Amino acid sequence: MAFSVRPYLPADEPGWLRCRTLSFLGTQYYDDVKPHRTAFDLPAVSMVAVADDGTIAGLIDVEIDGGAATIDTVAVHPDHSRQGIATALLDAALPQARKAGATTLDAWTREDEAANAWYLGSGFVENFRYLHVYKNGDEPVEGFTTPDGLSGPVIAFLHADIAREAEMRARFARVHVCRQYLRRL
């Protein structure tokens, strides 16, 4: 199926949400569901790939803070994967990010092999890593401090230094290595 890349329009939001949710569903970000598209305070480049049938097949949002740009979201609907959509979106966003003054572009992802391979194949290099740690309801609350009158956390999302990976994996069932990829523009 063919697709075209164009700027995001507000009317795209329902399709944007469907595409993002379904693309994240099979990854370690499966619970990063949003009821609305991110609103950016800083300048941003927002593009969508539209399939011939009019559905949003992919999306990219890049927020620009002076010389530093960050991919907030890049996603491809699973029914349209492996068609070059993510690369076409990146290729469309890069000139606009440069024009807005960005000299570097970074992105953050977890262990998804396809995503990591795509970043490396797209000219990014790994720059930094740390841990995303999730405390589930059935895991112990020892070591957590909460304000008076509140119980220990039932669930929690935390960051940890990569040096503590073995310790975190021994204590929590859901631990992900989060990688920052960086590309000079």
- Could you tell me the residue range of the domain that residue 174 belongs to? 107-185
Domain boundary pick from 48, 80, 102: 102
Q: Which residues contact 176 (CB under 8 A, 6 or more apart)?
A: 28, 110, 111, 131, 132
Instruction: Work out the number of other CB atoms within 10 angstroms of the CB of residue 183.
Output: 18
Rounded Cα gap, residues 153 and 150, in angstroms: 8
Instruction: Look at residue 36 in the predicted model and tell me its pLDDT.
Output: 96
In the sheet with 56-65, reading across from the earlier edge strand, the strands are 3-7, 44-51, 56-65, 68-76, 104-109, 174-184, 125-135, 156-160
Give the CATH number, domain containing residue 1. Answer: 3.40.630.30
pLDDT in tens, the chain (185 residues): 699 999 999 999 999 999 999 999 999 999 999 999 999 999 999 999 999 999 999 999 999 999 999 999 999 999 999 999 999 999 999 999 999 999 999 999 999 999 999 999 999 999 999 999 999 999 999 999 999 999 999 999 999 999 999 999 999 999 999 999 999 99
- Same domain, yes or no: 154 and 80: no
Domain boundary pick from 59, 78, 102: 102
Question: How many distinct structural domains can be found in the chain?
Answer: 2
Domain boundary pick from 53, 76, 102: 102
- Same domain, yes or no: 63 and 9: yes
Residue 148 contacts residue 167 (beta carbons within 8 Å): no
What would you measure as the largest C-alpha separation in the chain, in angstroms?
Answer: 58
Instruction: Look at residue 1 in the predicted model and tell me its pLDDT.
Output: 67
**Token pair in block for residue 50:** 């539209």
Residue 40 per-residue DSSP state = P
- Same domain, yes or no: 1 and 67: yes
Instruction: Look at residue 61 in the predicted model and tell me its pLDDT.
Output: 98
H-only helix segments in the chain: 13-25, 85-99, 113-121, 165-171
**Token pair in block for residue 29:** 């970000």
Three-state DSSP state, 70: strand
- Same domain, yes or no: 8 and 95: yes
- Same domain, yes or no: 41 and 63: yes
Could you tell me the CA-to-CA distances from 185 to 74, 89, 116, 126 in Å, in that order? Answer: 18, 16, 19, 15
- Same domain, yes or no: 82 and 111: no
- Same domain, yes or no: 177 and 111: yes
Amino acid identity at 180: Q
pTM passes above 0.85: yes
